[in-house]
Structure 1
Amino acid sequence: MEIINTGLAECFIIKPKIFEDSRGYFFESFNETSFKKTIGKDINFVQDNQSYSSYGVIRGLHAQSGDYAQAKLVRVLGGGVLDVAVDARPESSTYGKHIAVELTAENKLQLFIPRGFLHGFAVLSKTAEFFYKCDNLYKKEAELGVSYNSPELGIDWIIPQKDQLISQRDLELPLFLKYNNSILESIPLK
């Protein structure tokens, strides 16, 4: 696997080694030993999640706080998305900055998102099947988020506004600068 630096502290794009021939292709989507050696961290994934969405859906920006913070390894099984990670760790040198990367079934890229980051994605294809590994179990009471269109973040979601499909819950999230930083500060840097 190849690691591509995103410019955000501890957040990496992972490009797997693909073996192709006339029958199709094969690649290791995850190998615990290689992953730990490559990123230099001991990550123990304990939960896998999968979602299916149609064109224009924007999900995010979400995280979990405190003892329930999650690191994620995300990829697309079908279709394509614009995947976005925002560093929400006030102590980080890249606090408030984001990365936006196209993840598709064709390019097979993965994004490693450390704890303390907000995460979201926009579906660019007719439909998309999105898969992510988490290093902590989901806890509803620990959910937090900020508005996908916080002007101070300057995220270009690529989807024209008239085509954006956003849940009511996500539309009601606070802007990044108005966000309660005491909650964000409870997310450890690990």
Structure 2
Amino acid sequence: MENFTNETIDTTQLPKFEEVLFSKLDSKYFKVVIINLVLIIGLLILAPILFSVLKPEVFSGRIWFILGVVEPILFALIIGFSILGFRKKEFAFREHDVLFRHGVIALNTTIIPYNRIQHVALHEGMVSRYFGLAKIQIFTAGGSSSDMEIPGIEKEQAENIKQLVMGKIQKQL
């Protein structure tokens, strides 16, 4: 029978993920973000107009004033956070894990070891496909949605990353 040990770990000697060289998203992805924003904001502008045509009795002068003040502020916030969010998204693939950093108000870093990954998928949205970009989705056990999504990667690079991760998964088995 082996002797059980439970030594204290010196946490000051642990590797620091903050020192990892992160890769930025492809600059073309910024265009994807802007196009998606234009589509969303366009729908948010058209919805009240269409609703006012179909149900004019609901829309008084006060509601139009609120929409005229609140919507532009909301749109400015959405645009600002989207632009900042694009700039803050970074990723890295290391020997034993994958890292993704994102966030505007709070910076979040997700680290998933390869031995926890169950599945990896490559997804191309309609707008992203036009610019030759894809999104890597990484799934771990126990969930139906992806645990990590890294958008804005050139399609060829995304395919290479998918193959890399699939190879790491196979080595774990």
TM range (shorter): under 0.3
- In terms of fraction of residues, the more helix-rich structure is 2
Structure with higher RCO (Cα < 8 A, 6+ apart)? 1
Question: Could you say which structure has the larger radius of gyration?
Answer: 2
TM-score, normalised relative to structure 2 = 0.27
- In terms of fraction of residues, the more strand-rich structure is 1
TM-score, normalised relative to structure 1 = 0.25
